[in-house]
């Protein structure tokens, strides 16, 4: 599969590296290169900081493309979220098939052999199947977490987990049985 990545930071390198190892063609993009990466990919990973998302999505044509949104908009210090990024992304790219995924774990997880459970939210059954195959392809397990309207819960969970970590707690200890 051809995967265009909007962004060239930690998440782009981590997930892009894993997908490249799994045999996919990857194109990362810095500022000024987003349209090229969007045109290249059948699947697009949105991996820029939340504040850049509106400008980035205005410069690209994502009609019909599967758009994986891994972004979080977390207020530093408060560890709260304002608007749901997935909701914004779907509004800004109305012709894309948006799937929320990969927003829960710290980027360092994707540099190695992750073996994680990856909750995903989306409304397009075919797009969900494609993203699930990209999750299993890197040795992880997809968890269908419902429609895109539930992505806000995943984003709030990320904020909560980050807040716990910053306070010196291991969030996994709150969840493990």
Ligand X SMILES: NC(=O)c1ccc[n+]([C@@H]2O[C@H](COP(=O)([O-])OP(=O)(O)OC[C@H]3O[C@@H](n4cnc5c(N)ncnc54)[C@H](OP(=O)(O)O)[C@@H]3O)[C@@H](O)[C@H]2O)c1
**Among candidate residues 114, 53, 78, the one with its CA nearest the CA of residue 44:** 53
Distance separating alpha carbons of residues 127 and 139, to the nearest angstrom = 19
Distance separating alpha carbons of residues 24 and 128, to the nearest angstrom = 18
Out of 3, 44, 70, 81, which residue is the one contacting ligand X (CB under 6 A)?
Answer: 70
Q: Does 51 bind ligand X (CB under 6 A)?
A: yes
Give the residue with the Cβ less far from ligand X, 39 or 109.
109
Q: Does 7 bind ligand X (CB under 6 A)?
A: yes
Out of 38, 86, 103, 128, which residue is the one contacting ligand X (CB under 6 A)?
Answer: 103
Give the residue with the Cβ less far from ligand X, 126 or 154.
154
Give the residue with the Cβ less far from ligand X, 70 or 118.
70
Out of 15, 18, 26, 48, which residue is the one contacting ligand X (CB under 6 A)?
Answer: 48
* Residues 34-58: b if buried by 16+ CB within 10 A, e if exposed: beebbebbebbbbbbebeebeebbe
Comparing every residue's Cβ against ligand X, the nearest one is 9
In the complex, the smallest distance separating the C-beta of residue 79 from ligand X, rounded to whole angstroms, is 13
**Among candidate residues 3, 153, 140, 139, the one with its CA nearest the CA of residue 68:** 3
In the complex, the smallest distance separating the C-beta of residue 173 from ligand X, rounded to whole angstroms, is 19
Question: What is the 8-class DSSP label of residue 93?
Answer: S
Q: Which residues contact 22 (CB under 8 A, 6 or more apart)?
A: 137, 138
Q: Does 30 bind ligand X (CB under 6 A)?
A: yes
Q: Give the H or E element holding residue 67.
A: strand 66-69
Report the DSSP pairing between strands 117-122 and 141-144.
parallel
Out of 33, 35, 87, 106, which residue is the one contacting ligand X (CB under 6 A)?
Answer: 106
Give the residue with the Cβ less far from ligand X, 15 or 66.
15
Give the interface with ligand X as residue ranges (CB under 6 A): 7-12, 30-31, 47-52, 55-56, 70-72, 103, 106-107
């Amino acid at each position: 599969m051809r995967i265009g990545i909007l962004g060239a930071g930690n998440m782009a390198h981590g997930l892009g590296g894993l997908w490249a190892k799994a045999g996919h063609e990857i194109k990362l993009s810095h500022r000024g290169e987003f349209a090229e990466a969007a045109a290249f990919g059948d699947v697009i990973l949105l991996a820029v900081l939340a504040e850049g998302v509106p400008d980035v999505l205005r410069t690209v044509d994502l009609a019909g493309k599967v758009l994986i949104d891994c972004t979080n908009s977390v207020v530093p210090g408060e560890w709260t979220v304002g608007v749901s990024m997935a909701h914004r992304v779907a509004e800004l790219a109305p012709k894309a098939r948006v799937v929320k995924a990969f927003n829960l774990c710290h980027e360092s997880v994707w540099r190695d052999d992750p073996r994680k459970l990856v909750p995903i939210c989306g409304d397009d059954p075919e797009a969900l199947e494609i993203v699930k195959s990209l999750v299993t392809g890197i040795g992880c397990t997809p968890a269908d977490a419902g429609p895109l309207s539930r992505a806000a819960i995943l984003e709030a969970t990320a904020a909560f987990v980050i807040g716990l970590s910053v306070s010196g707690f291991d969030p996994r200890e709150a969840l493990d049985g």
